[in-house]
Amino acid sequence: RDIKEEENYPRVRRGNFFEVAADVAKHKPFCLLPQGLRGERKQGPVNLPPLDAVVGNPPYVRQELIPKRGQNGVKPMQAKEDLQEICAEFWPGLKLSGRSDLHCYFWPAATRFLKEGGWFGFLTSSSWLDVEYGFALQEWILTNFRIHAILESNAEPWFEDARVKTCAVILQRCSTPAARNAQLIRFVRLDVPLKAILGDRPDENGRQTAAEKFRAEILACKRNTVREGWRVVVKKQQELWAEGLRAGRLFERQRQRDLTAHIKRQAGDGDDDEGADSIAYDESGNGMLHDGTTAYGPRYGGGKWGKYLRAPNLYFRIMERYGKRFVPLGEVATIRFGVKSGCDAFFMPRDVSDEFLEKYSKLEWLNAPLMTHCKRTEVECGHVRLVEAGDGTVHPVEAKYLAPEVHSLMNASRPVIAAAELDRLILLVSEPMQDLKGTYVQQYLRYGEHHAFASTKSKAVPVPKRSTCAARDPWYDLTYTKPGAFFWPMAQQYRHVIPANPEKLICNHNLFDVHPFELSEAQVAALQAVVNSTLLANFKTFYGRYAGTEGNLKTEVVDVNLLEIPDPRHVTKRVAKKLHDAFAKLCQRDTRPMVEEEFMDCHSVERAKKLAEKPHGLPWELQQPDRRALDMAVFELLGVTDAKERDALCDELYHETAAHFRQIRVVEIRKQEQRARAEGREFRTDELAADLWDALTADEKQPLAEWFAAQISGGQSHVIPEGHASLPDASDMLDACTVFFRQSEGGKSSVRLLALASRSHAEMIFTLAKLGLHGSLRLPDAESAARELKRSLDARLAAVTATADHLARSRTSDERKISDVSGLLQHWLIHGKPRREPRQADLADKAND
């Protein structure tokens, strides 16, 4: 088209979108364009009428990068405060959180252009569907628009470089409450690439026709529908509003419980904060729910809309039949952050008392590197403990001012925590400084007053000057902490461990204290078992959020509050006993990952793809009888009375859970490899060897001892003893058929002889012993058979060496790396690849069951 013609001139304005929106709101022209006959230079205004539709893909910018007023170079309509004000002006009553990502401000500004009944389509980050800063956006949408559809792809990123999921939202402006409440919302999940659904359409008309056909199919869905490659979950808009009101009441009850219990609101995180904004919210925009300025009452609290896109079909079937037996966890328990000290390096030191007592004798005690000297006998009797602060300095502190602290669940292998497993302490002092005169703890506090501890989150200032500490009186008082009945970890990966806290231990801010509310002892025990069930391991994945696109699931206080759990208040004596017994057995062994072991050993995308092509198998954890007994009891608690139905539900739950974690692991492997390449990091020897292991056949993977045993049908049994083996020369007239084993015990050496029937017998024993094989095995009686078996053994070992070397050279040209990888592969081919097995104590317990 000739853009010199007035009617063809593009009506496009370049500029700050929020300035444009403000101009239009003030009835200023949208833009100025050339007008009149060809050749004229007049500029005429183009006014923007109420629009039929607005479509956009606003930029994704994390809130931390949005400038604030007063910062250098910040222009009008760029600061966060300006954006909040203009949105509130366009839509009175709308108050977006200061932790909102940039795209959230585009919604109210863009919809300001719409006429009644006008359409709105946005492509944005999916985070607003679940995080707390999105709750205000949800309420605004529900009270001003009909939601037609929300779409998300489970098969492809719509933007290759994005680390967050993306969703498409279709709204229609509507001021009629009845019409909004009756609206059917289609939550559409795409399980294959969009191109596979629309087909290969080379021309625009074909693509448009296919898209319109797909739209019609979606709108035709009046109930939950599963099609090949996509799924629709249908919810009435009124249902989402009702869920939000329920959440609002729940949040208010949580706040009232805290007020009743005189719980102080904690500021910041473990290593301090910067500014008041981070006091109320974390970096994901999730607040503490206990902000004294907020009173939810009967108002909309929020909703976990993402579950309608990400939860498996099993979830909706269970909810359809047994939904009334579920309850938000926050309804039966109060969830609170662990201790936010303001400086973990100072308040949560390591206990090094035993290390110092072992290292420094009575004569050497004066040489011990202590910041304040103390008597060795004070430490020996337990009156004083030696603690190592985060800066490496060691201080004596009276034991009465210290308590065990659960810093993370990194080393928690079972769903129960004991103080004996911990190496961290927490400083608990409430007395005024002047009352501590003459104590070691006063000396430690004085040290904190004058020394700064390094932190990536705060300025290098002495501990009392950190904002979290400065908000306390006195600055060091952490004694307000009330331990919970069990801990919920903020960050989780492939294990599901929600440990009980029978010793009333204190945890830090990486964990949440869970306090059961108005439950009997039996109901508390049932709740503890339920939260460790596979059902909750599955449900938590669509209530929390994965960090970027990797395997670290993050759950916030708001997520745990809203998490749906089987209601422990319905438990009967019979089901209570089943839950108790199953959970007790679960506590006797280590909890393993809910992903297949070979995926945990995998570190390359190529190998992960090959593994993913295999049929789904169950990880070790989901094969254990104690876990199945627990999960079967949980289904019984839900009211599933038929044993066959419980079995079928359990099988499907395990399949869905294993499939989910397999997918998450594959994505994580891809991201790890991308990061390794970006950082120029080499893969470790064991990573390369594990990747190559899958290229071997089942026969090649057979350990040498198993292969050797399979070659012999009869013969005589021999025992290869421990020790260094040696074999005399074949010409030795006395001992050519004898293998000598030199053994050392208690500083004394001894020699054990193993006399064999022939030289071939002796050479086989010697070869196996040099490879590190010991114990009982059979050898053929006849010398000819022994000679033939020795040839087969030599050929097997030669093949092992050649195979390992060939595979190693296929992955690297570095001779040192080739030698290392080949050596490790040879070791596995001879002895078998080690597996992550339960501890021997666990195996003994299982044998005794």
Based on the domain organization, do 724 and 660 belong to the same domain? no
Are 358 and 462 in the same domain? yes
pLDDT of 269 strictly over 50: no
For residues 112 and 51, give the distance between their C-alpha atoms in angstroms, rounded to a whole number. Answer: 9
Same domain, 807 and 785: yes
Rounded-to-integer distance, Cα 647 and Cα 634, Å: 12
Helix axes 625-637, 521-531, angle to 10 degrees: 120
Most confident of 429-433, 609-613, 813-817: 429-433
At 319-367, the pLDDT tens digits run 999 999 999 999 999 999 999 999 999 999 999 999 999 999 999 999 9
Confidence of residue 91 (pLDDT cuts 50, 70, 90): very high
The amino acid present at 196, given as its one-letter code, is A
C-alpha 562 chain-centroid distance: 18
> How many domains is the chain built from?
5
> Which three-class secondary structure string do you get for 748-813?
EEEEEEEECCCHHHHHHHHHHHHCCCCEEEEECCCHHHHHHHHHHHHHHHHHHHHHHHHHHHCCCC
pLDDT(285) > 60: no
Average of per-residue pLDDT across 392-397: 95
How sure is the predictor about 2, in pLDDT bands with cuts at 50, 70 and 90? low
* Element at 331 (helix H, strand E): helix 329-332
In angstroms, the CA 675 to CA 678 distance is 5
Say how many residues make up the chain: 849
Q: Which residues of 190-225 are buried (b: 16+ CB within 10 A; e: fewer)?
A: beeebeebbeeeeeeeeeeebeeebeeebeebeebb
Examine the pLDDT at 271 and tell me if it is beyond 80. no
At 35, the pLDDT band (50, 70, 90 cuts) reads: low
Regarding whether 730 and 664 lie in a shared domain, the answer is no
pLDDT of 202: 78
Whether pLDDT at 306 is above 50: yes
| 235 and 374 part of one domain | no
Mean pLDDT score, 573-583: 97
Looking at the structure, do residues 370 and 447 belong to the same domain, yes or no?
Answer: yes
Q: What percentage of the chain carries pLDDT values higher than 90?
A: 56
**Tokens 């044993």 label which residue?**
643
Residues 590 and 498 in one domain: yes
Band the pLDDT of 109: cuts 50, 70, 90. Answer: very high
Over 50: is that where the pLDDT of 318 sits?
yes
Q: pTM of this prediction? A: 0.77
Sign of CA dihedral 211, 216, 221, 226: negative
Distance CA 777, CA 771 (A): 14
pLDDT at 276 over 50: no
Question: Tokens 């049932």 sit at which residue?
Answer: 526
Sorted by sequence, the CB contacts under 8 Å of residue 729 that are 6+ apart come out as 736
Q: Give the span between the Cα atoms of 208 and 196, in whole angstroms.
A: 15
The percentage of residues in the chain with a pLDDT greater than 70, rounded to a whole number, is 88
- Which pLDDT belongs to residue 283? 35
Strand order of the β-sheet with 51-56 is 51-56, 114-125, 166-173, 145-153, 184-190, 230-236, 225-227
Mean pLDDT for all residues in the chain:
86
Question: Quick one: pLDDT at residue 841?
Answer: 36
Task: Estimate to the nearest angstrom the gap between the alpha carbon of 505 and the chain centroid.
Answer: 23
Tokens of 52: 């039929």
The pLDDT value recorded for residue 235 is 97
Helices 643-679 and 605-612 meet at what angle, rounded to 10?
160
Predicted confidence at residue 104, as pLDDT, reads: 94
> Does 499 sit behind a cis peptide bond, omega within 30 degrees of 0 on the bond before it?
no
Kindly state whether residues 109 and 37 are assigned to the same domain.
Answer: no
- State both tokens at 465: 């000057």
At 47-78, the pLDDT tens digits run 888 999 999 999 888 888 888 888 888 888 88
Give the contacts of 32 (CB within 8 A, at least 6 positions apart): 43, 44, 45, 46
Task: State the average pLDDT over residues 462-481.
Answer: 92
For 462, list phi and psi in degrees, rounded to 5: -55, 155
Question: Cα–Cα distance between 712 and 693 in angstroms, integer?
Answer: 27
Pick the residue with more confidence: 232 or 670? 232
Residue 847 lies in a domain: no
Q: 10 Å Cβ neighbour count for 552?
A: 14
Q: Measure the CA–CA gap between 756 and 773, rounded to whole angstroms.
A: 17
The answer to whether residue 693 is domain-embedded is no
**Statement: residue 812 has pLDDT above 90:** no
Instruction: Report which of residues 278 and 647 the model is more confident about.
Output: 647
What's the pLDDT score for residue 76?
Answer: 83
CATH number of the domain bearing residue 134: 3.40.50
What is the amino acid identity at position 180?
A: R
Shared domain for 770 and 720, answered yes or no, is yes
Element (H, E) at 177: helix 177-182
Decide which of 622, 646, 679 is a domain's last residue.
679
Residues paired with residue 186 on neighbouring β-strands, in sequence order: 149, 234
Residues 218, 141 share a domain: yes
Angle at 464 between CA 463 and CA 465, to 5 degrees: 90
Establish how many alpha carbons lie within 13 A of residue 399's alpha carbon, considering only the half-sphere containing its beta carbon.
10
Whether 753 is covered by a domain: the verdict is: yes
Residue 728: inside a domain: yes
Confidence of residue 165 (pLDDT cuts 50, 70, 90): confident
Q: How remote is the C-alpha of 435 from its chain's centroid?
A: 45
Q: Which pair of tokens denotes residue 280? A: 């109320």
What's the pLDDT band for 261 if we cut at 50, 70, 90? confident
Residue with tokens 């098969």: 155
The residue with tokens 């110092």 is: 356
Contact in structure between 138 and 188 (CB atoms under 8 Å): no
Q: Report strand pairing: 31-34 vs 43-46.
A: antiparallel
Q: Is the pLDDT of residue 721 over 80?
A: yes
Q: Which range, of 175-189, 318-332, 522-536, 815-829, averages the lowest pLDDT?
A: 815-829
Long-range (24+ apart) CB contacts under 8 A made by 638-641 are 638/318, 638/322, 638/325, 638/326, 638/566, 639/322, 639/325, 639/570, 640/322
Does any domain span residue 475?
A: no
Residue 688 within a domain: no
Q: Over 409-453, what HEC string results?
A: CCCCCCCECCHHHCCEEEECCCCCHHHHCCCHHHHHHHHHHHCEC
**Model confidence pLDDT, tens digit, residues 227-238:** 999 999 999 999
What confidence category does residue 382 fall into, taking pLDDT thresholds of 50, 70 and 90? very high
Q: Are residues 223 and 348 in the same domain?
A: no
Per-residue model confidence (pLDDT) at position 293: 38
What distances in angstroms separate CA 104 from CA 61, 62, 133, 246, 285, one per listed residue?
Answer: 10, 11, 9, 24, 12
pLDDT band, very low/low/confident/very high, at 221 (cuts 50, 70, 90): very high
End-to-end CA distance of the chain: 83
Q: By residue range, what is the domain housing residue 148?
A: 53-262+275-310
Rounded to whole angstroms, the Cα distance separating 652 from 622 reads: 12
Is pLDDT at 287 greater than 50 in this prediction? Answer: no
| pLDDT beyond 60 at 585 | yes
Q: Does residue 277 have a pLDDT over 60?
A: no
pLDDT the model gives residue 372: 94
pLDDT category of residue 292 using cuts at 50, 70 and 90 = very low
- Whether 97 and 33 map to the same domain: the answer is no
Question: Which pLDDT value is given to residue 264?
Answer: 57
- pLDDT tens-digit readout, 405-440: 999 887 688 999 999 888 899 999 999 999 999 999
